[in-house]
Amino acid sequence: MHLYGNLSEVASVGVLILFALYLGLYLALFGLLFGVIRRNWSVSAALISAPLLWVAVEFARDRVTGFPWDLLGYAQINNLTLTRIAPWTGVFGLSLVIATVNALWALPIAQPITQPITRTRSRRTRLVLPLAVLLTTAAIWLQFKGAQPPPAESTATAVLVQENLSVGGGAQQESREAMLASFATLSRHPNFPGSANTSETPDLIAWPESPAAFLDSDQSYRNFMEQLAQSSSTPVLADDLSLASRNSDGSYSLYNSASFFKADGTYGGRYDKIHLVPFGEYVPYKPLFFFAGKILEGLPFVPGTQRVLFDDRGRKYGVFICYESIFGDEIRQFVGRGAQVLVNLSDDGWYGDSSAPWEHLDMVRMRAIENHRWVLRATNTGVTASIDPYGRIVDQMPRHTRGALLARFNFLEDLTFYTRYGDWLAWICAALTAGIIAVSLLRSRRHVIAQ
């Protein structure tokens, strides 16, 4: 927020603390619900309910305040056997499994160590502890020795451009002309048509979200993209900006958009980003965060309203932009509408050299698993990659390098259970949690009346 958002150091620290406190409220909510059940039933009852509570709280983080970053289930993204749950339940199913195994480990030692080991506690230990050991051992064995999905067939290729443009921090940005020239050069990958190494025409060229502020109504920009698509006989997908409306003060509201140019050079429409980044593209609860206004100077974004598919020669592409990738129930709607491949355009330069780019990549991998779709990921600074329907990275480009990745992928049409029905498991966990808490409170009230 200080380096890229133009906030003072003091204001940046203030926003950071408030944001940490906000996220901490969800852990506090889990503790509160756990405490209600423990007080009115028992520690064991609370631990048995804990997996349901955890998923319900994660679900609230997703739906209520819209920041489901790094849910518990993502921890198992590399367990190719356990992630077979995701096409049925989404990431919440993995969260439920992890929380359940941990609860089983805690049950045998749930009573305070100062209390004597009763016959009931001893019996519970003999029954539950072996089950926890068995499940943990099975999970570890499946991780390293379990049956692995077969290699995913790839019959298509895409050129994914990684511009590596400066996001901020005082570095001088390139001119618009230099950016377009660079994109044209990078789009002509060594295996691109016209090269001595060419074997076939790629099926897509993708330009990521970046600091390049090109308007889709800019005729020179539009002509450039249309000519590039026509000359290469390849559709081009590029992130740009679109005018949304003119405000009363004469300023304009903007969409963060993805424009599609068909292989014959005609304009194929655009998708306007629906889920904007808090404090990156808009300020939530502005009266509370009035001091954070500088973050958005010159970036008055508004959310889009429609999930648009792009169609060229019978191939359907679903595109989601940057932060939208962490919302599984939203991404599945592109596939449900007929998307045969998913494309993620992102600018992860704002994350710097933290762990965040890799965390973001793992969440995109989960979207591939949930929907059994290839995901093509073009980013400004990395991680640019192609991901198969099992969440495996097939092709990848190093971060902080300028270049183009010739990525393999395929067009698929099957629909998973999760694609069809979304976060059904999370809804069940939320309903059960509400029921358990209601019964607990009713039990507490009756106990007070009885006294």
**Could you tell me whether strands 156-162 and 403-409 are parallel, antiparallel, or unpaired per DSSP bridges?**
antiparallel
Q: Contact 308/290 with Cβ under 8 angstroms?
A: no
* Catalytic residue chosen out of the listed positions 58, 163, 209, 281: 209
Q: What distance, in Å, lies between the first and last C-alpha atoms of the chain?
A: 55
- Known catalytic residue at 209: yes
Tokens coding 238: 């590029």
Instruction: Give the start-end residues of each E strand in 178-290.
Output: 204-207, 236-246, 252-261, 267-272
Give the whole-angstrom CA distance, residue 339 versus residue 33. Answer: 40
Q: Which of 171, 180, 101 is nearest to 136 (CA)?
A: 101
- Assess contact for 375 and 387: CB atoms under 8 A: yes
Q: Specify whether the CB–CB gap between 402 and 382 falls below 8 A.
A: no
Classify residue 49 as exposed, middle or buried by CB count within 10 Å of its CB (0-12, 13-18, 19+). Answer: buried
Within the chain, what is the greatest distance between any pair of CA atoms? 89
Active site includes 273? Answer: yes
Q: Residue 295 has which token pair? A: 């973050």
Measured over the CA atoms of residue 89, residue 92, residue 98 and residue 103, the dihedral's sign is: negative
Question: Among 163, 262, 273, 370, which one carries the catalytic annotation?
Answer: 273
Q: Annotated catalytic residue: which of 262, 322, 324, 429?
A: 322
Residues identified as active-site: 209, 273, 322
